[in-house]
A and B are shown apart, each in its own frame.
Chain A
Amino acid sequence: MSSQTSDQPVLSAARPLPAAKAVRKSFSSPLGSLFVIVVTILWTIPTFGLLATSLRPQQDVAVSGWWNVFAHPNLLLSNYHTVLFDGGYGVQGGLMPYLVNSLAISVPATVFPLVLASMAAYALAWVRFRGSDTLFFLIFALQVVPLQMALIPLLQLFSGGAHLGGVTVIPKFDLSGTYAPVWLAHTMFALPLATFLLHNFISQLPRDLMEAAVVDGATHFKIFRSIVLPLCTPALASFAIFQFLWVWNDLLVALTFAGGTPEVAPMTVRLAQLSGSFGGHWEVLTAGAFLSIIIPLLVFFGLQRYFVRGLLAGSVKG
């Protein structure tokens, strides 16, 4: 900790401190570092406790706290076996089908809004037309609509179609028991934010490049495919990761459009059910919870350097 501050006086004597560092310097003290370390430990302990508990035998979990693993390490994987394949404690069947559902929901619900939003963002940024600014702000403003508000009408639309005075505007689809309503709902709800973030990025592409392409006679479709998409890969990738995490972690949309059946319901729905029925059986509940966070955590730790950089590219201006 102190090694960081020790070379500071030498540096400042040689030349003025770089600006941002000057501010930070006044905040960096052993006390400040201690604060960061304490917060980091506090932030990590709950998750660690979850992992530790999920690996302990039932009789241990019931009588002693997870911190006892340090004194008496006695770890096994059978809780995971129970949760994934057996169920138990009044619960029928394991989590496995729900895990598959989560994956089958998350991947398309990431790709669809990403493609549609990048198309919209390109049009709003580079195919300027009258009212394109207004349209951009309207789309941004739609973020306010709480999902809760859209659920009932959307559910009614999917099950009954849309009618205006006896005329069927949209026929009814029989989508129940499929992933389609969940994909559609996630795509619709993700569009405002996705369009906003990608627009910030796409609108900052060099103007010369775009104009040169137009002079060369490229259509908007060609520009989009051969210039915009390749140059936007960091932003697209970062938003894809975020959207994947959101969809994977979503409970509300899944609960409403997928119900609770093993055919379509994802992990979060099942886990919320289990937290009721497993009650005091922490060893299985924690195993289930850890299973549900392991894939997002892998995605997060594997790709975080890309997505933090890409996400911030458009949203924080210098």
Chain B
Amino acid sequence: MPVTSPLLADSAWNDAAIKLGNSFGAIAGFLGILLVVFFAAGRATGRFGRPLAIAVFLGPAVLLLLVGLVAPLIRTVYLSFRNDDSTKFLGAKNYTWAFTNDSIHQVLLNTLLWLVVAPLAATGLGLALALLVDRMRWQSLYKSLIFMPMAISLVGASIIWKFVYDTRSSAQAQIGLLSQLAVWLGWKNPPNWILSHPLNDFLLMVVMVWVQTGFAMVVLSAAIKAIPDEVTEAARLDGAGGLRLFWYVTVPMIRTTLVVVLTTVMIVTLKAFDIVRTMTGGNFGTQVLANEMYSQSFVQFNVGRGSALAVILFLAVLPLVAYNIVQLRKERATR
């Protein structure tokens, strides 16, 4: 390519303009339709006014949820009892496969490990930081920098960490930070981190903790600030201080928020497949349910097995959200 040529051909700019034009056109059309509907429905009075308002306000959301989440939920359950191209009924075969196949055992075990380690580490670290950072100078700088990975895609984060974990043979200079640190500490021949099972599982979890800690910190820090002064004051008059104050006053007061943070991180962890997919592709014993489900359905084209794994994923998250709803109901009852 000659140096003098423009960065992009005219056609590429045209192309970009058309694409973005279409997008903004779609937004304008959407808002236009809403405006017309609002105007028309707003003229209705009398006893039709209220039901019409409910239908207009809730209709689109409910319809989309039915088509996009409820119907697929039912359909996936149905597909999970059928064979690879959904032509034959298999009974529970896909499920027995999932729970008896050795390679899937590894996947389920890994998923469980992720579900316990990553959320607890991220929430615990976030809580510690929330308690410590507020009294420091430059606190907003620290908060921003720790929160920053939240803005990075899991794909981007995976590439960043793949680079940290990069290993060269001992004859060459290391370019991955972790290997170089190992060398500086006197380890002549650092292992290929990504290939060493079960260490690689935890190295992948580090990425998730790196991304989620800032989120936990910011939300918990706000919750701690929101504890009414009188509560801690009363406890202090009763002679509580320091760690006791933390365990018996702070933690119970922010319990709801702690649960919400833990659940949110768990759901992200359970559903996220980007990290495993980008860093190891699920090889070297690092496969998790979310990625295996994708491989079964879209790489090996076994829709039945993929659907069964999706249902297992769904059943795994269900208790978490059920618990959250119970908490929420309590909170609303006291409001």
Spell out A's residues near B (CB within 8 Å).
1, 3-5, 16-28, 32-33, 35-37, 39-40, 43-47, 49-50, 53, 61-67, 81, 84-86, 96-97, 100-101, 103-105, 107-108, 111-112, 115-117, 119-120, 122-124, 127, 129, 133, 135, 137, 139-154, 156-157, 162, 170, 179-180, 183-185, 187-189, 191-192, 195, 219-222, 224-225, 245, 248-252, 256, 268, 271-272, 275, 282, 285-286, 288-289, 292-293, 296-297, 299-301, 304, 308, 312, 315-318
Contact pick for A245, options B31, B49, B131, B151, CB 8 Å? B151
Whether a CB of chain A sits under 8 angstroms from the CB of B185 is no
Q: Is B69 located at the chain interface by the 8 A CB criterion?
A: yes
In the assembled complex, the CB of B106 is this many whole angstroms from the nearest CB of chain A, namely 19
Q: Is B99 an interface residue (CB 8 A)?
A: no
Q: Which of B26, B57, B62, B213 contacts A122 (CB 8 A)?
A: B57
**Is B54 a contact partner of A129 (Cβ separation < 8 A)?**
yes
- Return chain B residues, CB-CB under 8 Å to A105: 23
- Given A22-B245, A142-B69, is A187 in contact with B164 using a C-beta cutoff of 8 Å? no
Is there contact, CB below 8 Å, between B180 and A104?
A: no
Asked whether A282 lies within 8 Å of B163 as measured between CB atoms, the reply is yes
> Known contacts A148-B294, A149-B76, A316-B223; is A36 also within 8 Å of B129 by CB?
yes
The contact of A49 among B7, B26, B65, B177, by CB within 8 Å, is B177
Q: Which of B24, B155, B230 contacts A249 (CB 8 A)?
A: B155
B257 engages A316 (CB within 8 Å): yes
Nearest CB in chain A to that of B142: its residue: A40
Determine the main DSSP class of A at the interface with B: helix
Q: Are the C-beta atoms of B160 and A46 separated by less than 8 Å?
A: yes
Q: Is the CB of A49 within 8 A of B163?
A: yes
Given contacts A119-B58, A148-B313, A222-B42, contact A104 B65 (CB under 8 A): no
Residues of the B chain whose Cβ atoms lie less than 8 Å from the Cβ of A24: 131-132, 134-135, 224
Known: A23-B224, A119-B58. A96 touches B133 (CB 8 A): no
Interface of B is mostly: helix
Among B27, B160, B314, B329, contact of A289 (Cβ-Cβ < 8 Å):
B160
With A49-B160, A149-B72, A154-B72 as contacts: A4 and B277 at CB distance below 8 Å: no
